[in-house]
Amino acid sequence: MELRNIAIIAHVDHGKTTLVDELLKQSGSFRDNQAVSERAMDSNDIERERGITILAKCTSVEHNGIRINIVDTPGHADFGGEVERILSMVDGVCLLVDAAEGPMPQTKFVLAKALALGLRPIVVLNKVDKSDAEPDRALNEVFDLFANLGANDEQLDFPHIYASGRSGWADLELDGPRKNLDALFDMIVSHVPTPRQLKDADKPFRMLATTLSADPFIGRILTGRVESGTLRVGETLKALSRTGEKLEQFRVTKVLAFRGLNQTAIDEAVAGDIVTLAGMSKATVADTLCALELDIPLPAQPIDPPTITVTFGINDSPLAGKDGTKVQSRVIRERLMRESEVNVAIKVADTPGGDAFEVSGRGELQMGVLIENMRREGFELSISRPRVIFRDIDGVKCEPLEEVTIDVDDEYTGAVIEKLTGPRKGDLIEMKPAGVGKTRIIAHVPSRGLIGYHGQFMTDTRGTGVLNRVFHDWAPYKGVIEGRRQGVLISMESGISVAYAMWKLEDRGHFFIGVQEQVYTGMIIGEHNRDNDLEVNPLKGKQLTNVRASGTDEAVRLTTPVKLSLEQSIAYIDDDELVEVTPKNIRMRKRYLDPNDRKRQSRAG
């Protein structure tokens, strides 16, 4: 059977997963009466809740007797480690671009990776049926982007197609019949080359592992594209590291291939196909699985370095152990080490004390997803404020710089530019109209300046702005960036919060907790109106007397507390504060709970 391997790449929310759903339906991968959830490829709970793709996933469809292996990739740059490796095992890419928004930062990020590997993209102008779609403008911007990224003549001569993934049609002309996706299937078959590996079928077996996962029944499994040779179940292979060191020798217990949404056991893996192998115990991502007579590993894609680091520690608050089952540092370390094996964009290091671990990654979203997964598994953690990783380049201290693209209503542009270029030390690169009454702002801002900015941005734009960011380059250190301006309200007592006490404190600031919530000494319960921290007592009830008079008891009406999400809490805290994460609660607290300890530390610092 003829074969094509293709990846779907795009900016977040441009419709990759929805389009793959329709490709599966129209290829007959589902029965007519089969119950299939929307965005079938987003199988992870967090992916469904947030509407984003985090893990790259493979599927396979058949069209006119030709098998097409399709890989759905994440759009966020935080999960770019997935994208880089996936692109090395396909022969073509479909670049999805929203016909209204045009190319966005992650479009540029994923396209740059594809062009660098020599792939020739097919451009799919998606969502052309939206009321504000401008497909011709979007197509011109895509061409300019290809040229700016140094595409060669062959890559610049890209085919394009108009589509609506949600409605399930794709046409070569904008005013085509709009019936089905056959035109896209035909374009993939004609434009994407057959795997060059097919001609190496008689050579010894070699495969580069690109994704790692675990199956409860068959154990550790590795997925990748077969570079040469064939493989049958029961044969013996060896695993080579990037440097060529032999890691292990193992017998292949299962060979699985993608057929629709499911993985099916097959007897033989052939060159060019994307398959999953089981039987190894040590081999991991970027290792080469090969026949015993081979000694040279396959080249693996370099991974962009981490740009931020967060300290994961044990939960040592007075409420530790109440919600979670996994609280020991040993268990936390094992889980983080497992994560660093599966996710090559994450690095884990021990700290001198042994109770905490430095976890480095691509961004706040990636860290937030890891912490969210761990709390759902029953872990209790204390998390520090993210810190950027500095580099020494030619004797100069350098920090990561991010390209920020903002679409905002015209009336809010002044506030946004002032915040980015003033206290956050950003440089304005470009400013242009982006539709009626909207402006697109592009700026280069240090990663440090963006930690905690998203909440401020949503306030400044009344929730209407759209902010996207992607790693740009390393730049010389830009000096001190001031952190949060407001102080916090800190509980001076432990117990249950009381409505009367909080009502009396409302003029001091706004609260992060409600009434009848458990608090402890040193816990952050709100934001102070001023720039200093203030210790308050949220437990102090009304003094009762035996004198009753009508009209003297005032009705207590409290302002609704501000509930911060996990990512917002991590971005909000200062260097002397922590986020306590448990399966049921997210609390902010001072690193040193005792006020005397805090005073001593501030004097020492």
At residue 40, does pLDDT exceed 60? no
The backbone torsions φ and ψ at residue 170, rounded to the nearest 5 degrees and listed phi first, read: -150, 135
Query: Residue 578: CA atoms inside 13 Å, Cβ hemisphere, count?
Result: 21
pTM: 0.72
CATH number (domain holding residue 264): 2.40.30.10
Instruction: Pull the structure tokens for residue 200.
Output: 């190496």
CA–CA gap between residue 107 and residue 126 (Å, rounded): 13
The backbone torsions φ and ψ at residue 266, rounded to the nearest 5 degrees and listed phi first, read: -125, 160
CA–CA gap between residue 358 and residue 336 (Å, rounded): 10
Q: What is the pLDDT of residue 499?
A: 87
One domain for residues 86 and 146: yes
At residue 592, does pLDDT exceed 50? yes
pLDDT tens per residue, range 437-450: 888 899 999 988 88
One domain for residues 345 and 203: no
One domain for residues 321 and 366: yes
One domain for residues 468 and 579: no
At residue 321, does pLDDT exceed 90? no
**R_g (Cα) of the chain, nearest Å:** 27
CA–CA gap between residue 540 and residue 519 (Å, rounded): 13
Q: What is the pLDDT of residue 63?
A: 84
In a domain, 303, yes or no: no
Mean pLDDT of 371-388: 90
Confidence band, pLDDT 50/70/90 cuts, at residue 46: very low
- Domain holding 539, by residue range, is 488-545+555-604
Q: How many domains does the chain have?
A: 5
Mean pLDDT of the chain: 83
Q: What is the pLDDT of residue 74?
A: 64
One domain for residues 152 and 98: yes
CA–CA gap between residue 371 and residue 381 (Å, rounded): 8
Q: Specify whether the CB–CB gap between 15 and 104 falls below 8 A.
A: no
CATH number (domain holding residue 451): 3.30.70.240
Mean pLDDT lowest among 265-279, 337-351, 397-411, 583-597: 337-351
Of 378, 400, 433, the position where a domain reaches its end is 378
Residues 440, 442, 445, 447: is their CA dihedral positive or negative? positive
Say if residue 376 is exposed, middle or buried (CB neighbours under 10 Å; 0-12, 13-18, 19+). exposed
One domain for residues 323 and 447: no
Confidence band, pLDDT 50/70/90 cuts, at residue 251: very high
CA–CA gap between residue 361 and residue 346 (Å, rounded): 5
Q: What is the pLDDT of residue 45?
A: 54
Confidence band, pLDDT 50/70/90 cuts, at residue 39: very low
Mean pLDDT lowest among 13-22, 52-61, 288-297: 52-61
Confidence band, pLDDT 50/70/90 cuts, at residue 560: confident
At residue 454, does pLDDT exceed 50? yes
Confidence band, pLDDT 50/70/90 cuts, at residue 433: confident
One domain for residues 413 and 362: no
Q: What is the pLDDT of residue 552?
A: 47
In a domain, 90, yes or no: yes
CATH number (domain holding residue 124): 3.40.50.300
Mean pLDDT lowest among 55-64, 273-282, 344-353: 55-64
Q: Specify whether the CB–CB gap between 307 and 367 falls below 8 A.
A: no
Mean pLDDT of 259-273: 83
One domain for residues 259 and 128: no
In a domain, 54, yes or no: yes
Q: What is the pLDDT of residue 186?
A: 92
Mean pLDDT of 388-404: 89
Q: What is the pLDDT of residue 33?
A: 40
Q: What is the pLDDT of residue 546?
A: 58
